[in-house]
Structure 1
Amino acid sequence: MQKTFFHCCSLALILMLIGGCAPTSKTETKTDPIPSLEKISGDWVAADTVAMEPSLRNFRGQALVNRDMTSISWFASAPYSGGYHSGVLKINGEVPAVQMYRWQPFQALRKTTFKGYEILSSTRMLPEEDAFLWQVEITNTTSAAQDLTVDIDMIGFISKYGGDWQWWYPFPTLRGKQTRRDDEIDLVRNQITNPNRTGEVMIEELINGQPTGKQIRSVLPADQEILNATKYKTALEAGAFIVSDQETEAVTGFGFVTAPSSAKPFNSGGTAQWKLTLQSNEKKVIQYFMVYADSKDAVKSRLKEIQPAFESKFTGAQTFWENRWAKIFKPGNDVISGCFPVLETSDTLAKRVYYTGPLTMLYMMNTNLPQYKRVILTGGPKWGASISFFWDNTEWAFIQALSDPERLKANIALWLSVDPGKNYGFDNFGGKGVGNAYSANYYALFQLIRSYLVVTKDYDFLNEKINGRTVLETLEFYSTNWERISSYGKPGCTDDIYKLGDFGDDPWNLLECVPTYIHIVPSFNATYIWMMRETAALYRKANNPAKADALDKKASEMLPLLMKLYAGNGVWKCVYPNNKSVEVRHVMDFIYTGRFIPQDIPDAMRQEMVDFLYRELMTTHWMRAQSLQDVAAKNSDRPDHGPLGAFDGWPAATMDALVQFDQSQKALDFYRAMEPLTHEGSWAQAHELWGDNKENKNARVRIAERGWHARDAIAGIGMSQVMVKGFFGFNPQVNGETITKPGTVNLEGTLRHVLYGGEYYTLELRGGEVSFNKEAKEEK
């Protein structure tokens, strides 16, 4: 354990790479192609370079650590959620601030030096149990003995909420249950090392996850005010704090492994104190833990169970994650219904990017939500404790079908009960649709179903009736939705161009933060052409050529209208009513036209689009979603879709489009270039461009926090999909074709355990050629 705690890669090297030095691939000498969990985890990073603190997960819940040495915030494990934070550590009355973080899937590490002491803390969630464990090491680094007082607040500000959960799930505050994000918790987090903070702050109001532009007053409670909250009552029983919520059934317990000198209860928790004398270089280890349940008896039982078994539980958390990590790469495992393909390559940069995908998939897995036994959540913490977004899921639809087809099929069956014209996702706790209507929904759900079909060859699924239609009828309904939203014939919309799909005037249904990307946009109109062609192929397979021909005809008629949206010089335009158009310099149109209608784009136009991509969007290690030259750039500054960063799904989709444009080597170069980002942790909702060079190619890159972003998110798993589909060319089609010959790339390797039609295959990439061979079945 000591070796794990103090493992430290060269921070200077990591920051140099992310800051602008091009990485060079090195040869991997280890025989095991799958990196250990220790190796694929994040490295130590300086707190002053981090925008979003490390997270914690345990297949049930989620939380963020703060910038002190012990507290966590934004805890949620449906039906439980927490407010404010869990309590800070003080040394002689002062709160030390974190200097270094390290994220690992089984723990968050914090390290600092403070007035003659070195402090190292580990916070772990017990896998598939309702408990947090803390271990704090304090070392006297002076040359003389030191007397010190260690106080740790233990705040059980946890409530239990049933019913429907949205992306903005409910949580407790001093005023009771809240769902509105008014930044009160984050204001407290931002001043976590000042426990006596007070006052009021004006912040922007968020309602239903959307900024209103309205400034509202938010309180800034001190820690003692939080501890004195009358919503809770705390008792000190058998050497443990028992915190009872007076408004819900929630009960929280804090147990001590290292007995304190004293413990004082308040209302929402208490303060434990240790009076210590440390000799020079002497170390004191303090261990404690928190459990939560819906009765005192359950909490007391868990306290009695964990207290004597703390050491084995603490080390067992890491072992649990390591075992589960190893299992997901083996056919016939008991974690997922398939397995994640194993990549063998000497290209260490590409390898790390690839394996960050399964790491993220496993990290986002929940096994205790009632709608299905296994769910890969979309993002969090702070948001989405039970939510699946269709759009984010479709960005790695193909890998989902390869790795866990049983779960994907079950998820699809649930998601088809949701009206894509009303909701962007599904609540795996309450079982209902959530959020507003994303224009991406129809394409997203279509691609999820299509990926499942072509990978599993389970075409009987097309005949199943779900929500009143067969799956094939649903695919046709999705593929022709553009007709139902067309504005053609309305006032100001009489030219033929208005026959295309019109996605309305609300940016929140499209890119949210880009005000000009509305009405008739190129990207999703391109997906409708592809959807109709794919549905036609399915109808031909079902021996219905009349339906197939009709859909192909519609796609052919739609294509020339779409091409009129090309503005030249590599960019596209949006068309509004009354023949108004706005040129939009955004990666969306490169991605969706490049991925879904590449064969229809002339070579010269392809080259212009690639030139635009590299001239205005690409940086040394990441990319901009929107050009700084876009007319709306100054009004679109959000890290996922604006000019200073990109949603983690966009680079993968961009590489997919580059491959379709016969630019595979450029895609592979980009793939390798982003490797330094993975040393901060799993894939996120977005990575932002920051630092003095944020507006040029040498921008530094980090996980984004501003703009209400999620620390962990799934869309980046699409990076692994690029390796399988793009560089190895495994891209099965409805007509039975399996391999699309990849473009020439300086990459060689092997992909093992690729699940196709219920059988496992091995792909070999050598000299630009791919072999595809069935694996022998292993004897059980």
Structure 2
Amino acid sequence: IERLYGWASAAMVALVREGYPASPRQFVISEGPSNSFDGSTTMGGSGQFTWDLSFNALSESLLDPETTRLILRHIIANSDFETVPMSVPQAWDGYRAYPNTVGAGQYCFDYVAAFLFVQGYVTATGDVDFLTTPILNNHDGRDATPLDFLRAIAWAWKAYPASTESPYLVDYGANKRSFLEAAETYIDVIAALQAGNAGMLLSLARLLESVPSLPRKNADEIADLRSNGTRIAEDMMRYQFVPGVGAWKCLKASPYVAPVEVRCIADSVYVGLSAGLLAGHAHSALDGAFPMSAAARRDMVDLVFRELLGNGWVRALSPLDPSMANISCRGGFHG
């Protein structure tokens, strides 16, 4: 663990920059020409996407907890709790620091990413008091705590239309800019997002149980979180998992359109986080009690090693994904 942290922190320190408006130090994660803050033009620049930041939440929290806390305050203060679905901002270097107001958006992976970012900071630093710290929201002028924020994003899925297969599996639409643009078929009812929803609900239930001093919304909150999270996970396994392959299906908005199998790393990552696969034990970053059989876990891990790891890289999409049928992979594919 110390070696992994050493590698991660060395990479971040190599990119550290000072003098940006957002915070005293920025660990730049995106290089390239300047772009628009709303992402409407070429991506690049010195960007701090909330989704990207979530993957180095633990490392940055250990390396520079002050900067991490400032970024989280920025995200929570500028999230719009009143929009349906709620909106979450990015954390661009060029933005002036909190309490400066910035706009928020509905990039679908930002819900689980922001949850992981807050969770990573609290886990790494032990700063449980942060969860009940009032932060003035720049959109509605009311105080919201990080715990309020976790609740809001854990339930954000309820604002999306239910799939035809299950009221617990929701349809995020077909706008590719709302997702990780790995494949044109990676739209609608995406397994990674359903897994994130289940994981957030189950994880929040475990947090409230583990820290009795945290205020509960009502007497049934933990039971509601756990029952909804479990139903999402159960219906994912029933309707989206491909047994024997380890892949997942994107369900379609129309009952007349067949589900599409997608072999995407994002599904493996977020199901892995929720089911405990990435931690190698029963409890992981997003879990509570994700109902996934040992055989299904083996299938998913085998898919990753068989098709998504190779040539020194982790592939975003398997060369055997159906969308790649007419695309030639330079250098060939060796499973």
With the length of structure 2 as denominator, give the TM-score of the two structures.
Answer: 0.77
Q: Which residue of 2 aligns with 1:481?
A: 156
Q: Does 1:363 align with 2:38?
A: no
Residue 310 of structure 2 aligns to a residue whose secondary structure is: coil
Distance (whole Å) between structure 1 residues aligned to residue 14 and residue 323 of structure 2: 36
User: Which stretch of the first structure deviates more once superposed, 582-591 or 598-607?
Assistant: 598-607
Residue 482 of structure 1 aligns to a residue whose secondary structure is: helix
Instruction: Give 1:524 shift.
Output: 1.4
Instruction: Give 1:426 shift.
Output: 2.2
Q: Which residue of 2 aligns with 1:470?
A: 145
Q: Tell me: CA distance 1:358–1:456, structure 2 relative to 1, closer, same or farther (3 Å).
A: closer
Give the % identical residues: 24
Checking the alignment, whether the CA contact within 8 Å between 1:539 and 1:547 is kept in structure 2 is: no
Aligned counterpart in structure 2 of residue 628 of structure 1, from 307, 319, 329: 319
Distance (whole Å) between structure 1 residues aligned to residue 316 and residue 89 of structure 2: 21
Checking the alignment, whether the CA contact within 8 Å between 1:402 and 1:455 is kept in structure 2 is: yes
Checking the alignment, whether the CA contact within 8 Å between 1:418 and 1:426 is kept in structure 2 is: no
2:113 maps to amino acid: A
Gaps of 5+ in 2: 35-43, 81-85, 277-289
1:367 maps to amino acid: E
Checking the alignment, whether the CA contact within 8 Å between 2:79 and 2:104 is kept in structure 1 is: no
Q: Does 1:400 align with 2:74?
A: no
Q: Which residue of 2 aligns with 1:417?
A: 77
Q: Which residue of 1 aligns with 2:225?
A: 551
Q: Does 1:561 align with 2:221?
A: no
Instruction: Give 1:417 shift.
Output: 2.8
Instruction: Give 1:445 shift.
Output: 0.9
Q: Which residue of 1 aligns with 2:91?
A: 426
Instruction: Give 1:591 shift.
Output: 1.5
Q: Which residue of 2 aligns with 1:375?
A: 26
- 1:690-769 aligned at under 5 Å gives the runs 693=331, 695-697=332-334
Residue 427 of structure 1 aligns to a residue whose secondary structure is: coil
Q: Tell me: CA distance 1:632–1:470, structure 2 relative to 1, closer, same or farther (3 Å).
A: same
Q: Which residue of 1 aligns with 2:185?
A: 516
Aligned counterpart in structure 2 of residue 503 of structure 1, from 146, 168, 172: 172
Residue 604 of structure 1 aligns to a residue whose secondary structure is: helix
Checking the alignment, whether the CA contact within 8 Å between 1:369 and 1:386 is kept in structure 2 is: no
| Deviation readout 1:676-705 (Å, 9 max, x if unpaired) | xxxxxxxxxxxxxxxx62x2239xxxxxxx
1:429 maps to amino acid: G
Distance (whole Å) between structure 2 residues aligned to residue 405 and residue 634 of structure 1: 46
Residue 366 of structure 1 aligns to a residue whose secondary structure is: strand
Gaps of 5+ in 1: 1-340, 344-352, 638-642, 645-691, 699-780
| Deviation readout 1:712-741 (Å, 9 max, x if unpaired) | xxxxxxxxxxxxxxxxxxxxxxxxxxxxxx
Bigger strand fraction = 1
Instruction: Give 1:342 shift.
Output: 5.4
Q: Tell me: CA distance 1:619–1:435, structure 2 relative to 1, closer, same or farther (3 Å).
A: farther
Q: Which residue of 1 aligns with 2:296?
A: 605
1:427 maps to amino acid: W
Q: Tell me: CA distance 1:501–1:445, structure 2 relative to 1, closer, same or farther (3 Å).
A: same
Distance (whole Å) between structure 2 residues aligned to residue 517 and residue 549 of structure 1: 32
Q: Tell me: CA distance 1:357–1:476, structure 2 relative to 1, closer, same or farther (3 Å).
A: same
Q: Does 1:450 align with 2:115?
A: no
Distance (whole Å) between structure 2 residues aligned to residue 622 and residue 371 of structure 1: 32
Q: Does 1:590 align with 2:268?
A: yes
Q: Which residue of 2 aligns with 1:578?
A: 254
Instruction: Give 1:562 shift.
Output: 1.5
Checking the alignment, whether the CA contact within 8 Å between 2:5 and 2:59 is kept in structure 1 is: no
Residue 48 of structure 2 aligns to a residue whose secondary structure is: strand
Residue 271 of structure 2 aligns to a residue whose secondary structure is: helix
Checking the alignment, whether the CA contact within 8 Å between 1:480 and 1:532 is kept in structure 2 is: yes
Aligned counterpart in structure 1 of residue 205 of structure 2, from 506, 531, 536: 536
Q: Tell me: CA distance 1:572–1:517, structure 2 relative to 1, closer, same or farther (3 Å).
A: same
Residue 409 of structure 1 aligns to a residue whose secondary structure is: helix
Distance (whole Å) between structure 2 residues aligned to residue 438 and residue 550 of structure 1: 26
Instruction: Give 1:402 shift.
Output: 1.6
Residue 312 of structure 2 aligns to a residue whose secondary structure is: coil
| Deviation readout 1:503-551 (Å, 9 max, x if unpaired) | 2111121122411111111111111111112222233322635322221
Distance (whole Å) between structure 2 residues aligned to residue 558 and residue 582 of structure 1: 19
Instruction: Give 1:356 shift.
Output: 4.4
Residue 79 of structure 2 aligns to a residue whose secondary structure is: coil
**Count of residue pairs the alignment pairs up:** 289
Residue 518 of structure 1 aligns to a residue whose secondary structure is: coil
Residue 576 of structure 1 aligns to a residue whose secondary structure is: coil
2:169 maps to amino acid: L
Distance (whole Å) between structure 2 residues aligned to residue 475 and residue 435 of structure 1: 16
2:271 maps to amino acid: T
Distance (whole Å) between structure 2 residues aligned to residue 435 and residue 478 of structure 1: 13
2:247 maps to amino acid: V
Checking the alignment, whether the CA contact within 8 Å between 1:424 and 1:433 is kept in structure 2 is: yes
Q: Does 1:389 align with 2:86?
A: no
Instruction: Give 1:628 shift.
Output: 1.6
Instruction: Give 1:614 shift.
Output: 2.7
Distance (whole Å) between structure 2 residues aligned to residue 392 and residue 496 of structure 1: 31
Instruction: Give 1:496 shift.
Output: 4.3
2:67 maps to amino acid: R
Checking the alignment, whether the CA contact within 8 Å between 1:427 and 1:434 is kept in structure 2 is: no
1:548 maps to amino acid: I
Residue 632 of structure 1 aligns to a residue whose secondary structure is: helix
| Deviation readout 1:432-489 (Å, 9 max, x if unpaired) | 647863211011111111111122222111112222322111100010111111x13x
RMSD: 2.6
Distance (whole Å) between structure 2 residues aligned to residue 592 and residue 410 of structure 1: 26
Distance (whole Å) between structure 1 residues aligned to residue 310 and residue 198 of structure 2: 31
Q: Tell me: CA distance 1:364–1:434, structure 2 relative to 1, closer, same or farther (3 Å).
A: farther
Distance (whole Å) between structure 2 residues aligned to residue 372 and residue 470 of structure 1: 20
Distance (whole Å) between structure 1 residues aligned to residue 79 and residue 24 of structure 2: 23
- 1:127-142 aligned at under 5 Å gives the runs none
2:149 maps to amino acid: T
Distance (whole Å) between structure 1 residues aligned to residue 76 and residue 104 of structure 2: 15
Distance (whole Å) between structure 1 residues aligned to residue 104 and residue 196 of structure 2: 22
Checking the alignment, whether the CA contact within 8 Å between 1:507 and 1:516 is kept in structure 2 is: no
- 1:48-127 aligned at under 5 Å gives the runs none
User: Which stretch of the first structure deviates more once superposed, 607-616 or 515-524?
Assistant: 607-616
Checking the alignment, whether the CA contact within 8 Å between 1:567 and 1:573 is kept in structure 2 is: yes
Q: Tell me: CA distance 1:553–1:419, structure 2 relative to 1, closer, same or farther (3 Å).
A: same
| Deviation readout 1:632-668 (Å, 9 max, x if unpaired) | 2268x8xxxxx96xxxxxxxxxxxxxxxxxxxxxxxx
